[in-house]
Protein backbone atom coordinates (compact mmCIF):
# COMPACT_ATOMS: atom_id res chain seq x y z
CA UNK A 1 0.00 0.00 0.00
CA UNK A 2 1.20 3.49 -0.88
CA UNK A 3 -0.39 6.80 0.14
CA UNK A 4 0.51 9.92 -1.82
CA UNK A 5 -0.54 13.49 -1.07
CA UNK A 6 -1.56 15.51 -4.15
CA UNK A 7 -3.87 18.29 -5.27
CA UNK A 8 -6.98 17.73 -7.41
CA UNK A 9 -8.89 20.81 -8.62
CA UNK A 10 -7.19 22.91 -5.97
CA UNK A 11 -8.04 20.54 -3.13
CA UNK A 12 -5.61 18.38 -1.14
CA UNK A 13 -6.37 14.66 -1.43
CA UNK A 14 -4.60 11.48 -0.43
CA UNK A 15 -4.25 8.88 -3.15
CA UNK A 16 -4.01 5.31 -1.93
CA UNK A 17 -2.80 2.47 -4.14
CA UNK A 18 -2.35 -1.09 -3.04
CA UNK A 19 -2.54 -4.78 -3.87
CA UNK A 20 -5.49 -6.64 -2.36
CA UNK A 21 -4.81 -10.12 -3.72
CA UNK A 22 -5.44 -12.43 -6.66
CA UNK A 23 -8.86 -13.38 -7.96
CA UNK A 24 -10.34 -15.65 -10.61
CA UNK A 25 -12.73 -14.08 -13.10
CA UNK A 26 -15.82 -15.67 -14.65
CA UNK A 27 -13.66 -17.23 -17.36
CA UNK A 28 -11.31 -18.90 -14.91
CA UNK A 29 -8.41 -16.50 -15.45
CA UNK A 30 -6.36 -15.25 -12.48
CA UNK A 31 -5.88 -11.49 -12.03
CA UNK A 32 -4.38 -9.16 -9.45
CA UNK A 33 -6.94 -7.05 -7.59
CA UNK A 34 -5.69 -3.51 -7.04
CA UNK A 35 -7.17 -0.73 -4.92
CA UNK A 36 -6.87 2.87 -6.12
CA UNK A 37 -8.90 5.78 -4.71
CA UNK A 38 -8.61 9.32 -3.35
CA UNK A 39 -9.61 10.40 0.16
CA UNK A 40 -9.74 13.61 2.15
CA UNK A 41 -7.22 12.44 4.77
CA UNK A 42 -4.33 10.01 5.06
CA UNK A 43 -6.05 8.29 7.98
CA UNK A 44 -9.24 7.72 5.97
CA UNK A 45 -7.23 6.40 3.01
CA UNK A 46 -5.45 3.85 5.22
CA UNK A 47 -8.68 2.74 6.94
CA UNK A 48 -10.52 2.30 3.64
CA UNK A 49 -7.67 0.28 2.17
CA UNK A 50 -7.61 -2.06 5.18
CA UNK A 51 -11.39 -2.38 5.03
CA UNK A 52 -11.23 -3.21 1.33
CA UNK A 53 -8.55 -5.81 1.96
CA UNK A 54 -10.65 -7.46 4.67
CA UNK A 55 -13.75 -7.48 2.46
CA UNK A 56 -11.78 -8.89 -0.46
CA UNK A 57 -10.61 -11.81 1.67
CA UNK A 58 -14.25 -12.49 2.66
CA UNK A 59 -15.21 -12.64 -1.01
CA UNK A 60 -12.46 -15.15 -1.69
CA UNK A 61 -13.49 -17.32 1.27
CA UNK A 62 -17.12 -17.29 0.08
CA UNK A 63 -16.03 -18.42 -3.38
CA UNK A 64 -17.40 -15.40 -5.24
CA UNK A 65 -15.70 -14.45 -8.48
CA UNK A 66 -14.71 -10.96 -9.42
CA UNK A 67 -15.38 -9.37 -12.78
CA UNK A 68 -12.55 -7.46 -14.37
CA UNK A 69 -13.29 -3.76 -13.93
CA UNK A 70 -16.81 -3.45 -15.40
CA UNK A 71 -18.21 -0.01 -16.11
CA UNK A 72 -21.33 1.30 -14.37
CA UNK A 73 -23.27 0.85 -17.61
CA UNK A 74 -22.20 -2.83 -17.77
CA UNK A 75 -23.48 -3.54 -14.27
CA UNK A 76 -26.65 -1.54 -14.95
CA UNK A 77 -27.41 -3.88 -17.86
CA UNK A 78 -26.99 -6.88 -15.53
CA UNK A 79 -29.24 -5.32 -12.87
CA UNK A 80 -31.90 -4.35 -15.41
CA UNK A 81 -32.31 -7.94 -16.67
CA UNK A 82 -33.54 -9.02 -13.25
CA UNK A 83 -35.35 -5.82 -12.29
CA UNK A 84 -37.58 -5.85 -15.39
CA UNK A 85 -39.00 -9.26 -14.41
CA UNK A 86 -40.83 -7.89 -11.38
CA UNK A 87 -42.32 -4.57 -12.52
CA UNK A 88 -44.98 -3.35 -14.91
CA UNK A 89 -43.97 -2.04 -18.30
CA UNK A 90 -45.04 1.51 -17.38
CA UNK A 91 -42.79 1.43 -14.29
CA UNK A 92 -39.93 -0.04 -16.33
CA UNK A 93 -40.28 2.78 -18.87
CA UNK A 94 -40.12 5.38 -16.11
CA UNK A 95 -37.04 3.85 -14.48
CA UNK A 96 -35.22 3.34 -17.78
CA UNK A 97 -35.92 6.99 -18.57
CA UNK A 98 -34.44 8.03 -15.22
CA UNK A 99 -31.24 6.13 -16.01
CA UNK A 100 -31.08 7.29 -19.63
CA UNK A 101 -31.58 10.99 -18.89
CA UNK A 102 -29.93 11.46 -15.49
CA UNK A 103 -27.93 8.53 -14.10
CA UNK A 104 -25.92 6.91 -16.89
CA UNK A 105 -24.84 10.22 -18.52
CA UNK A 106 -22.94 10.93 -15.28
CA UNK A 107 -21.81 7.47 -14.13
CA UNK A 108 -22.22 5.21 -17.16
CA UNK A 109 -18.66 5.27 -18.56
CA UNK A 110 -16.90 5.14 -15.20
CA UNK A 111 -15.30 1.91 -13.99
CA UNK A 112 -17.03 0.63 -10.88
CA UNK A 113 -13.84 0.32 -8.83
CA UNK A 114 -12.98 3.98 -9.53
CA UNK A 115 -16.29 5.47 -8.38
CA UNK A 116 -15.81 6.88 -4.89
CA UNK A 117 -18.43 8.24 -2.51
CA UNK A 118 -17.23 11.73 -3.48
CA UNK A 119 -18.11 11.00 -7.13
CA UNK A 120 -21.50 9.70 -6.02
CA UNK A 121 -22.08 12.78 -3.90
CA UNK A 122 -21.37 15.08 -6.85
CA UNK A 123 -23.79 13.03 -8.94
CA UNK A 124 -26.55 13.28 -6.32
CA UNK A 125 -26.00 17.02 -5.94
CA UNK A 126 -26.43 17.35 -9.69
CA UNK A 127 -29.65 15.29 -9.62
CA UNK A 128 -30.86 17.43 -6.72
CA UNK A 129 -30.86 20.43 -9.07
CA UNK A 130 -32.62 18.52 -11.85
CA UNK A 131 -35.17 16.35 -10.07
CA UNK A 132 -37.82 17.05 -7.44
CA UNK A 133 -37.47 13.44 -6.21
CA UNK A 134 -33.71 13.18 -6.70
CA UNK A 135 -33.40 10.55 -3.97
CA UNK A 136 -35.11 8.08 -6.31
CA UNK A 137 -32.15 8.44 -8.69
CA UNK A 138 -29.83 7.87 -5.73
CA UNK A 139 -31.82 4.81 -4.68
CA UNK A 140 -31.77 3.19 -8.15
CA UNK A 141 -28.09 3.97 -8.68
CA UNK A 142 -27.43 2.37 -5.29
CA UNK A 143 -29.12 -0.84 -6.49
CA UNK A 144 -26.66 -1.00 -9.38
CA UNK A 145 -23.73 -0.63 -6.96
CA UNK A 146 -25.27 -3.39 -4.83
CA UNK A 147 -25.32 -5.63 -7.89
CA UNK A 148 -21.65 -4.81 -8.47
CA UNK A 149 -20.98 -5.95 -4.91
CA UNK A 150 -22.70 -9.25 -5.58
CA UNK A 151 -20.60 -9.66 -8.71
CA UNK A 152 -17.48 -8.98 -6.69
CA UNK A 153 -16.58 -5.95 -8.80
CA UNK A 154 -16.47 -3.64 -5.75
CA UNK A 155 -16.05 -4.18 -2.04
CA UNK A 156 -18.40 -1.56 -0.62
CA UNK A 157 -21.31 0.49 -1.93
CA UNK A 158 -20.16 4.13 -2.24
CA UNK A 159 -23.72 5.41 -2.72
CA UNK A 160 -24.59 4.27 0.81
CA UNK A 161 -22.14 6.85 2.19
CA UNK A 162 -23.89 9.76 0.48
CA UNK A 163 -26.26 11.90 2.57
CA UNK A 164 -27.71 14.83 0.65
CA UNK A 165 -30.66 16.62 2.31
CA UNK A 166 -33.90 17.44 0.57
CA UNK A 167 -34.49 20.96 -0.68
CA UNK A 168 -35.50 23.24 2.18
CA UNK A 169 -39.11 24.34 1.73
CA UNK A 170 -40.32 27.87 2.30
CA UNK A 171 -43.52 27.18 4.21
CA UNK A 172 -44.41 30.87 4.21
CA UNK A 173 -45.14 30.63 0.49
CA UNK A 174 -48.44 28.96 -0.36
CA UNK A 175 -48.22 26.01 -2.74
CA UNK A 176 -50.24 25.97 -5.93
CA UNK A 177 -53.19 23.75 -5.11
CA UNK A 178 -54.10 21.07 -7.60
CA UNK A 179 -57.73 20.72 -6.52
CA UNK A 180 -60.96 22.71 -6.47
CA UNK A 181 -63.32 23.61 -3.70
CA UNK A 182 -66.83 22.18 -3.83
CA UNK A 183 -68.14 25.46 -5.28
CA UNK A 184 -65.48 25.52 -8.00
CA UNK A 185 -66.24 21.91 -8.92
CA UNK A 186 -69.94 22.78 -9.20
CA UNK A 187 -69.11 25.66 -11.57
CA UNK A 188 -67.02 23.32 -13.74
CA UNK A 189 -69.58 20.50 -13.96
CA UNK A 190 -72.36 22.98 -14.74
CA UNK A 191 -70.19 24.38 -17.55
CA UNK A 192 -69.56 20.86 -18.92
CA UNK A 193 -73.31 20.35 -19.27
CA UNK A 194 -73.93 23.80 -20.75
CA UNK A 195 -71.13 23.58 -23.31
CA UNK A 196 -72.28 20.12 -24.34
CA UNK A 197 -75.90 21.31 -24.77
CA UNK A 198 -74.73 24.18 -26.98
CA UNK A 199 -72.34 22.03 -29.01
CA UNK A 200 -73.86 20.97 -32.33
CA UNK A 201 -72.00 17.64 -32.08
CA UNK A 202 -73.46 16.91 -28.63
CA UNK A 203 -70.38 15.16 -27.22
CA UNK A 204 -72.16 13.10 -24.56
CA UNK A 205 -68.86 11.39 -23.75
CA UNK A 206 -67.43 14.55 -22.17
CA UNK A 207 -70.06 14.97 -19.42
CA UNK A 208 -69.92 11.22 -18.72
CA UNK A 209 -66.12 11.30 -18.49
CA UNK A 210 -65.83 14.32 -16.21
CA UNK A 211 -68.70 13.28 -13.94
CA UNK A 212 -67.08 9.85 -13.51
CA UNK A 213 -63.75 11.39 -12.57
CA UNK A 214 -65.26 14.02 -10.29
CA UNK A 215 -67.72 11.80 -8.40
CA UNK A 216 -65.67 8.61 -7.93
CA UNK A 217 -62.06 9.74 -7.54
CA UNK A 218 -60.85 7.08 -9.99
CA UNK A 219 -57.54 7.49 -11.80
CA UNK A 220 -57.45 8.64 -15.42
CA UNK A 221 -55.90 5.36 -16.60
CA UNK A 222 -58.60 3.39 -14.79
CA UNK A 223 -61.32 5.46 -16.45
CA UNK A 224 -59.94 5.09 -20.00
CA UNK A 225 -59.64 1.31 -19.55
CA UNK A 226 -63.29 0.92 -18.43
CA UNK A 227 -65.51 -1.35 -20.52
CA UNK A 228 -69.31 -1.26 -20.57
CA UNK A 229 -69.35 -4.57 -18.71
CA UNK A 230 -67.70 -2.82 -15.75
CA UNK A 231 -70.73 -0.57 -15.30
CA UNK A 232 -73.87 -1.92 -13.63
CA UNK A 233 -76.82 0.39 -14.24
CA UNK A 234 -79.10 -1.81 -12.12
CA UNK A 235 -76.79 -1.70 -9.07
CA UNK A 236 -75.43 1.81 -9.77
CA UNK A 237 -71.81 0.65 -9.53
CA UNK A 238 -68.60 0.67 -11.53
CA UNK A 239 -65.95 -2.02 -11.10
CA UNK A 240 -62.28 -1.14 -11.52
CA UNK A 241 -60.10 -4.11 -12.47
CA UNK A 242 -57.68 -2.72 -15.08
CA UNK A 243 -55.89 0.44 -16.13
CA UNK A 244 -54.51 2.01 -19.30
CA UNK A 245 -50.71 2.32 -19.36
CA UNK A 246 -47.98 3.00 -21.89
CA UNK A 247 -45.62 0.43 -23.39
CA UNK A 248 -41.95 0.97 -24.10
CA UNK A 249 -42.74 2.29 -27.59
CA UNK A 250 -45.15 4.81 -25.97
CA UNK A 251 -48.23 3.06 -27.37
CA UNK A 252 -51.12 2.39 -24.98
CA UNK A 253 -52.08 -0.97 -23.53
CA UNK A 254 -54.50 -2.25 -20.92
CA UNK A 255 -52.78 -3.61 -17.83
CA UNK A 256 -53.53 -4.64 -14.27
CA UNK A 257 -54.36 -1.96 -11.65
CA UNK A 258 -51.63 -0.07 -9.84
CA UNK A 259 -52.01 -1.89 -6.50
CA UNK A 260 -54.07 -4.67 -4.90
CA UNK A 261 -56.33 -2.07 -3.31
CA UNK A 262 -56.93 -0.57 -6.75
CA UNK A 263 -59.26 -3.50 -7.49
CA UNK A 264 -62.54 -2.07 -6.22
CA UNK A 265 -66.23 -1.48 -6.91
CA UNK A 266 -67.51 2.06 -6.48
CA UNK A 267 -71.01 3.47 -6.07
CA UNK A 268 -72.22 5.76 -8.85
CA UNK A 269 -74.21 8.88 -8.05
CA UNK A 270 -77.54 9.48 -9.87
CA UNK A 271 -76.16 12.49 -11.80
CA UNK A 272 -73.25 10.40 -13.09
CA UNK A 273 -75.54 7.53 -14.04
CA UNK A 274 -77.81 9.91 -15.97
CA UNK A 275 -74.91 11.14 -18.08
CA UNK A 276 -73.62 7.63 -18.71
CA UNK A 277 -77.09 6.55 -19.83
CA UNK A 278 -77.41 9.57 -22.13
CA UNK A 279 -74.01 8.82 -23.63
CA UNK A 280 -74.88 5.14 -24.17
CA UNK A 281 -78.28 5.99 -25.75
CA UNK A 282 -76.63 8.26 -28.28
CA UNK A 283 -74.06 5.75 -29.53
CA UNK A 284 -74.61 4.58 -33.09
CA UNK A 285 -74.71 0.91 -32.06
CA UNK A 286 -75.39 -0.88 -28.80
CA UNK A 287 -71.93 -1.44 -27.28
CA UNK A 288 -70.72 -4.89 -26.29
CA UNK A 289 -69.72 -5.61 -22.72
CA UNK A 290 -66.01 -5.87 -23.63
CA UNK A 291 -65.92 -2.57 -25.54
CA UNK A 292 -64.18 0.37 -23.88
CA UNK A 293 -66.56 3.10 -22.68
CA UNK A 294 -64.45 5.96 -24.00
CA UNK A 295 -62.87 5.74 -27.44
CA UNK A 296 -60.85 7.78 -29.90
CA UNK A 297 -62.51 9.32 -32.96
CA UNK A 298 -61.29 6.29 -34.95
CA UNK A 299 -62.79 3.81 -32.50
CA UNK A 300 -59.58 2.72 -30.76
CA UNK A 301 -58.36 3.44 -27.25
CA UNK A 302 -58.90 7.02 -26.14
CA UNK A 303 -55.53 8.76 -25.78
CA UNK A 304 -54.37 9.33 -22.21
CA UNK A 305 -53.83 12.95 -23.26
CA UNK A 306 -57.40 13.57 -24.49
CA UNK A 307 -58.93 14.29 -21.04
CA UNK A 308 -56.05 16.73 -20.42
CA UNK A 309 -56.88 18.67 -23.60
CA UNK A 310 -60.61 18.66 -22.85
CA UNK A 311 -60.07 19.91 -19.31
CA UNK A 312 -57.67 22.69 -20.35
CA UNK A 313 -60.01 23.95 -23.09
CA UNK A 314 -62.93 24.14 -20.64
CA UNK A 315 -61.00 25.83 -17.82
CA UNK A 316 -59.86 28.60 -20.20
CA UNK A 317 -63.52 29.61 -20.57
CA UNK A 318 -64.16 29.76 -16.82
CA UNK A 319 -63.04 31.90 -13.90
CA UNK A 320 -61.65 29.03 -11.81
CA UNK A 321 -58.06 27.95 -11.01
CA UNK A 322 -56.31 25.64 -13.47
CA UNK A 323 -55.86 22.06 -12.26
CA UNK A 324 -54.81 18.83 -13.94
CA UNK A 325 -56.97 15.77 -14.60
CA UNK A 326 -55.32 14.17 -11.56
CA UNK A 327 -56.46 17.27 -9.68
CA UNK A 328 -60.06 16.07 -10.12
CA UNK A 329 -59.08 13.02 -8.06
CA UNK A 330 -57.66 15.31 -5.36
CA UNK A 331 -60.83 17.42 -5.57
CA UNK A 332 -62.98 14.36 -4.91
CA UNK A 333 -60.88 13.49 -1.87
CA UNK A 334 -60.93 17.08 -0.60
CA UNK A 335 -64.73 17.30 -0.86
CA UNK A 336 -65.10 13.93 0.90
CA UNK A 337 -62.84 15.12 3.72
CA UNK A 338 -64.90 18.28 4.09
CA UNK A 339 -67.99 16.06 4.43
CA UNK A 340 -66.33 14.11 7.26
CA UNK A 341 -65.45 10.81 5.55
CA UNK A 342 -63.38 8.37 7.62
CA UNK A 343 -59.75 8.04 6.40
CA UNK A 344 -60.03 4.25 5.95
CA UNK A 345 -63.17 4.61 3.83
CA UNK A 346 -61.44 7.23 1.70
CA UNK A 347 -58.42 4.93 1.26
CA UNK A 348 -60.62 2.13 -0.06
CA UNK A 349 -62.52 4.50 -2.36
CA UNK A 350 -59.31 5.95 -3.81
CA UNK A 351 -57.58 2.58 -4.09
CA UNK A 352 -54.51 3.67 -2.13
CA UNK A 353 -52.10 0.90 -1.14
CA UNK A 354 -51.10 2.66 2.08
CA UNK A 355 -53.20 4.71 4.50
CA UNK A 356 -50.27 7.18 4.70
CA UNK A 357 -50.95 8.24 1.11
CA UNK A 358 -54.56 8.98 2.07
CA UNK A 359 -53.60 10.87 5.21
CA UNK A 360 -51.24 13.08 3.19
CA UNK A 361 -54.30 14.44 1.40
CA UNK A 362 -55.42 15.96 4.70
CA UNK A 363 -52.31 18.17 4.60
CA UNK A 364 -53.84 20.04 1.66
CA UNK A 365 -57.04 21.12 3.41
CA UNK A 366 -58.02 24.73 2.78
CA UNK A 367 -58.15 27.16 5.70
CA UNK A 368 -61.96 27.15 5.56
CA UNK A 369 -62.00 23.34 5.77
CA UNK A 370 -59.64 23.41 8.74
CA UNK A 371 -61.74 26.01 10.53
CA UNK A 372 -64.92 24.01 9.90
CA UNK A 373 -63.33 20.79 11.18
CA UNK A 374 -61.86 22.12 14.45
CA UNK A 375 -64.08 21.93 17.52
CA UNK A 376 -64.87 25.19 19.28
CA UNK A 377 -62.94 24.82 22.55
CA UNK A 378 -64.80 27.72 24.15
CA UNK A 379 -67.98 25.63 24.13
CA UNK A 380 -66.18 23.14 26.36
CA UNK A 381 -64.48 25.50 28.79
CA UNK A 382 -67.33 28.06 29.15
CA UNK A 383 -69.05 27.65 32.57
CA UNK A 384 -72.45 26.01 32.35
CA UNK A 385 -75.50 28.02 33.35
CA UNK A 386 -77.10 27.38 36.73
CA UNK A 387 -73.92 25.80 38.04
CA UNK A 388 -73.10 27.08 41.55
CA UNK A 389 -69.45 28.00 42.14
CA UNK A 390 -68.27 27.85 45.76
For the segment 308-338, what is each residue's pLDDT rounded down to a tens digit? Answer: 999 999 999 999 999 999 999 999 998 898 8
With a cut of 60, say whether residue 202 has pLDDT above it.
yes
* Strand 11-24 relative to strand 30-39, pairing: antiparallel
| 263 to 143, 201, 226, 232, 258: CA distances (angstroms) | 30, 35, 12, 16, 9
Residue 375 — very low, low, confident or very high, per pLDDT cuts 50/70/90?
low
User: Which segment of 10-24, 70-84, 299-313, 357-371 scores lowest on mean pLDDT?
Assistant: 357-371
Residue 384's Cβ-count burial label (10 Å; 0-12, 13-18, 19+) is exposed
Please, are residues 157 and 202 in contact by the beta-carbon 8 Å criterion? no
35: left (phi over 0), alpha (psi -120 to 50) or beta: beta
For 154, phi then psi, to 5°, come to -135, 160
Q: Does the pLDDT at position 295 exceed 80? A: yes
Q: For the chain, give the percent of residues with pLDDT over 90.
A: 54
Ranges assigned E (strand) in 207-347 = 231-232, 237-240, 243-246, 252-255, 264-267
- CA neighbor of 228 nearest in space, from 165, 156, 306, 287: 287
Amino acid sequence: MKITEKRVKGKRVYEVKGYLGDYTDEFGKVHKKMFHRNYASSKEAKLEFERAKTQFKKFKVSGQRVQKQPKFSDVYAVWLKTYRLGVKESTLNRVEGLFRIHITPYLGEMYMNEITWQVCERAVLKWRKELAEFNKAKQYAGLVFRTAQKMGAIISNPMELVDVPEQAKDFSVAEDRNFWTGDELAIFLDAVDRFNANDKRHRYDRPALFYLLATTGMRKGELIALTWGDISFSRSTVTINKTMTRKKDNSQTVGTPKTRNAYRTLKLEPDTLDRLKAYRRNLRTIPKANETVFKSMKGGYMSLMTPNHWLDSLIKKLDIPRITVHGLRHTFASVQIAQGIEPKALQLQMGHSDIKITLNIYAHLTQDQVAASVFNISDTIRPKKNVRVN
